[in-house]
Each structure stands twice: as C-alpha cells, then as structure tokens.
Amino acid sequence: MIAPAARPARVGVLALQGDVREHVRALRAVGADPMEVRRVSDLDAVDGLVLPGGESTTIGRLLRVFDWLEPLRAAIADGLPVFGSCAGMILLAREVLDAAPGQPLLAGLDVVVRRNAFGRQVDSFEADIDLVGVAGGPVRAVFIRAPWVEKVGDEVEVLGRVGDRIVAVRQDNLLATAFHPELTGDIRIHRMFVDVVTGNRGRQGSVQVRGRA
C-alpha cells in the first residue's frame, strides 16, 4: 500500500499591512500552501506564520485594535513557527530601542532590536551577506529603514551580519531578518522557514485562539 503524500505546509502571512503578496509568492515558490491571515481564528488553520515587512508601528497598532496580541503571544509560546522580516523582527523582539511610544511587542525572540537603525528611507541599501544554514552563496539583502539586533540572549543563534551588525537570527522555531527577502526573488530563506515549519508539524500543542471574526 502506498502511503498518501504529506500535504504541503500551510503557512499564513499576517495580512494587516505590509509585504503580504510578496511573501505569499515566495512561499508558493518553495512548495508551501500560503494563506493570508486576517482573523485571529485563522491561526488555527496554519502550521506557521510570517510577519511581513511594513510599518511596525502600524502593524502593532492593528494587532492591538483587533485583539491579536495575546493570541499571537500564546501561539508563539506554544511553539508556532514564526518568521519576521524587518517590521516582523521588531514585533518579535522582547525589547526595542527607539520604539514608538506604546509600541506593542510579541516578545518571543530574546533579542534587543534598534528600530530604524540603518537610517531612514533615503538610507536604504542592498548588500550580499552570508547566512548560516543557507547554501549556494551570499544572499542579496534589501534594507529599507531597517533595524539591527544589538543584543541576543543565550538561546539565540546569529545567522548573518552586515559588518559587525546582526541582521538575521533564529531562536528555536522563530526566525527573523532585518532585511526583506520577499523583495529579491531569492527564495532560500523562505525555504529555510518552510523546513522549520515542516519539521515542527505535530509537535506544538493545541491552542485554540478566538477573537473577532
């Protein structure tokens, strides 16, 4: 008897604001089953979640308005794999320097992040960086009003740097980059995240999340 093929990983992209379509496109290209996540109840349908690049203050405000903060914190604590790019890295951090007043954080990653560390929009740049766990040569990284990581906890693995600045990290099922891999067409980081999601399926507990429909 031939065993049925495993279903593709269902990976949600938080669709409140930011580079949603770009992440969906990259996830589909690596064989995942992407889903735009707009309601808290959608969390029950996904194996992993992407927090896209965008405006961290805007996304944070919407997380609070639509009662996302506690369900997301609970899902992360329960082991849901999450990948945050740029604004997503900021939201995942336990502490943010130069944050907007009242900036809500998910506090899943044991890192201290400096917001807009590389400068404003006019200071945006691209760089080739080597990433731990990503084969095939350097990754072209796009930095747009990007943060960097100033301090990491003992459980955090540094994956990449620009000069001496930390710009990519991983802590267990959480992955974060200060740059925007969704904008380059290079899908290797998304493949890495989908591998994390696939390896985690069936291991996290069952957390029922409820919020506004």
Tokens of 105: 């954080």
Residue 14 lies in a domain: yes
Structural domain that includes position 40: 10-200
Residue 213 lies in a domain: no
23 is catalytic: no
Q: Which of 22, 86, 95, 155 is catalytic?
A: 86
Name the DSSP letter for residue 209.
-
Residue 212 lies in a domain: no
Q: Which of 22, 23, 182, 190 is catalytic?
A: 182
Tokens of 25: 């496109």
Residue partners of 125: CB distance under 8 A and separation at least 6: 118, 143
182 is catalytic: yes
Residue 209 lies in a domain: no
Mean pLDDT of the chain, nearest integer: 90
Identity of the amino acid at 138: P
Residue 94 lies in a domain: yes
Over 60: is that where the pLDDT of 84 sits? yes
Specify the pLDDT at position 8.
92
Q: Decide: 163 and 96 in contact? Cβ < 8 Å.
A: no
Tokens of 168: 């990519």
157 is catalytic: no
Q: Report which of 152, 141, 182, 160 is spatially closest to residue 23, judged by C-alpha positions.
A: 182
Q: Give pLDDT tens digits for 30-52.
A: 999 999 999 999 999 999 999 99
Confidence of residue 136 (pLDDT cuts 50, 70, 90): very high
Per-residue CA distances from 156 to 21, 77, 124, 189 (Å): 29, 15, 26, 17
**Rounded to an integer, what distance in angstroms lies between the CA atom of residue 134 and that of residue 194?**
13
Helix (H, G, I), strand (E, B) or coil at 163: coil
Backbone angles phi, psi at 177, to 5 degrees: -130, 145
Question: Which of the two residues, 101 and 164, has the higher pLDDT score?
Answer: 164
Residue 205 lies in a domain: no
Confidence of residue 202 (pLDDT cuts 50, 70, 90): low
Specify the pLDDT at position 184.
92
Residue 66 lies in a domain: yes
Residue 61 lies in a domain: yes
Q: What is the domain count for the chain?
A: 1
pTM value is 0.90
Q: Which of 55, 150, 155, 180 is catalytic?
A: 180
Name the DSSP letter for residue 146.
-
Domain CATH number, residue 153: 3.40.50.880
